[in-house]
Amino acid sequence: MTLLTIVPAAGVALPVEPFVGRHLIAGAWRDSASGETYERTSPAHGALVSRSALGAEADAEAAILAARAAFASGVWSRALGKDRAAVLLKVADLIEANVERMALIETLESGKPITQSRGEVSGAADLWRYAAALARTRHGESHNTLGDDMLGVVVKEPIGVVSVITPWNFPFWILSQKLPFALAAGCTAVVKPSEMTPSTTVILGELLIEAGLPAGVVNIVLGYGPAVGSLMTTHAAVDMVTFTGSTMVGKAIAGAASKTLKKVALELGGKNPQVIFPDADLDSAADAVTFGVYFNTGQCCNSGSRIIVHEDIADALVEKVVDLSKHVAFGDPLDPRTQVGAIITSQHQGKIDDYVRAAVKAGAEIALGGGPLLVPGLDGQFYQPTIVRGVTPEMAIAREEVFGPVLSVLTFRTMDEAVALTNDATYGLSAGVWSENVHTCLEFSRRAEAGTVWTNTWMDGFPELTFGGVKQSGQGREIGSYGLDEFLEVKTLVMRIGRTRAPWVKKL
């Protein structure tokens, strides 16, 4: 077996009692109308970690109507920008005060390393602070060139009730890319987290109440998509849906929402390339490639899951990535030394392995890994760091989202070929380029069909810089000032000054 860095079970005591999550509706914590619950076991440890209320249509209906009533009341939608900002800033402070508690349950439910969970939860506080700044600076425009007796004003108003549907891979971070911006705009919301990672969303509900958010402004419903999410995308009282998840589900949501012409914002899949030119700093590129494919166990829409490397340096680069991969610490996510944790479910692990087996059958070569990983002392599911060479563009592993720690290696000879391979995908979320020549980087960046292009880096992000994809990676944008605009409607006010309008009706 190839020598890998494996972190065995850390011997950390798991919580004696599971976290208990309930719905938050109209400012009150509620059990499901049916009284039913569901459980989540840790993908790394196999232990019961949370028990949540199992929502159904009645619970979703109550939450939507609560959000509608809160919006209509104006308690939040017509609040002063400084007052909304004050609440968001309090939430940010409370998030930072609860990092350890939230990080632990997120690690237990998702299988991601504890250090990563801490970084995501604490980093999310900055998104709330940035959104608070936008709450005070939102503005429209005026037109005083329409004549002495006319003034035109364009204002931006909150769109209304927003359904927020979040995924399991970054449950708190992605929620924080959406919810604070919707709140900054003055919207009310119904939130449904993934059934696999619901608990940090419930904890956020506690923090929102503590921060003084009025009842009904944010409502949380737990459960499965068909029972809860479907109503959130079709209900007439919902004005907008924002969803992060698979492209397949995103298409279904867009279709369901079209019946009432709701606005839909979608952040979906990606098959993101890093393109490495011959003059690149290979050590830096290899490290970023290694990070890009194994971060969050590759269960990331921004995963750098394929590299397109110039054939003159392909062998050297792959050798470096293979060597670095052997030093990445896979194992118990509760151990601070661990860099890569567990796969979310055994079914998903099987899907990852199917992609690798199919690629080998089609003629590709495994340079490293290529199968499940046994971690001493743990009963969960883990997958080896895997590098597949000899991949050709038509293979599924080169075109589809594997969502695991699997790197596909393709080669090119010219800029045109690199751009063609980059754009020969149904997705267009992100891309990267590695070269010491600024002209090469700029040309590639302008020609790549992607919402974000990183130059000599990978996955750096800031609240100020908007995020989103093109093609089947989604529609709309998150974070940045554009992330606020998603939750706003534009209204034009035409005002005549004085009684200057000539009468249309003339008495004969």
**Residues in contact with 380: Cβ distance below 8 Å, sequence separation at least 6, in sequence order:** 42, 43, 44, 45, 46, 111, 342, 343
Instruction: Check whether 508 has a pLDDT greater than 90.
Output: no
Q: Average pLDDT of 214-232?
A: 97
Distance CA 503, CA 501 (A): 6
Distance CA 79, CA 104 (A): 35
The chain-wide mean pLDDT, for the chain, equals: 97
CB 98 within 8 A of CB 204: no
Instruction: Check whether 14 has a pLDDT greater than 90.
Output: no
How far is CA 162 from each of CA 38, 186, 447, rounded to the nearest angstrom?
26, 11, 35
Residue-wise DSSP of 321-353 = HHHHHTTSEEE-TTSTT-SB---S-HHHHHHHH
Residue 56's CB is within 10 A of a number of other CB atoms, namely 19
* Paired sense of beta strands 273-276 and 372-373, if any: unpaired
What pLDDT, on the 0 to 100 scale, is given for residue 128?
A: 98
Q: What tokens appear for 138 in the block? A: 């939102």
Planar angle of CA 74, 76, 82, nearest 5 degrees: 125
How far is CA 99 from each of CA 87, 118, 119, 338, 396, rounded to the nearest angstrom?
19, 6, 9, 18, 39
Q: Average pLDDT of 72-93?
A: 98
pLDDT digits (tens, 9 = 90+) for 336-364: 999 999 999 999 999 999 999 999 999 99
What pLDDT, on the 0 to 100 scale, is given for residue 13?
A: 82
Q: Average pLDDT of 269-284?
A: 98
Extract long-range pairs of 126-129: CB within 8 Å, 24+ residues apart.
126/92, 126/463, 127/176, 127/177, 127/180, 127/463, 127/479, 128/88, 128/89, 128/91, 128/92, 128/95, 128/176, 128/180, 129/88, 129/89, 129/92, 129/463
Question: Which of 419, 475, 474 has the alpha carbon at shortest distance from 445?
Answer: 419
Q: Which amino acid is at 29?
A: W
Q: Which amino acid is at 190?
A: V
Distance CA 495, CA 507 (A): 26
Distance CA 414, CA 156 (A): 47
Domain boundaries 16-268+473-492, corresponding CATH code: 3.40.605.10
Q: Average pLDDT of 497-502?
A: 87
Hey, is 212 helix, strand or coil? coil
Instruction: Check whether 465 has a pLDDT greater than 70.
Output: yes
Instruction: Check whether 266 has a pLDDT greater than 90.
Output: yes
Distance CA 245, CA 466 (A): 18
At the fourth CATH level, which superfamily is domain 273-455? Aldehyde Dehydrogenase; Chain A, domain 2 (3.40.309.10)
User: In angstroms, what is the C-alpha Rg of the chain?
Assistant: 25
How far is CA 164 from each of CA 171, 243, 267, 339, 406, rounded to the nearest angstrom?
12, 6, 12, 30, 30
Instruction: Check whether 1 has a pLDDT greater than 60.
Output: no
Global pTM value: 0.97
Q: Average pLDDT of 458-468?
A: 97
pLDDT band at 12 (very low <50, low <70, confident <90, very high): confident
What pLDDT, on the 0 to 100 scale, is given for residue 361?
A: 97
Domain-by-domain residue ranges, the chain?
16-268+473-492, 273-455
What proportion of the chain, given as a percentage, has pLDDT over 70?
100
pLDDT digits (tens, 9 = 90+) for 109-142: 999 999 999 999 999 999 999 999 999 999 999 9
pLDDT digits (tens, 9 = 90+) for 378-407: 999 999 999 999 999 999 999 999 999 999
What pLDDT, on the 0 to 100 scale, is given for residue 2?
A: 60
Enumerate the active-site residues.
Answer: 267, 301
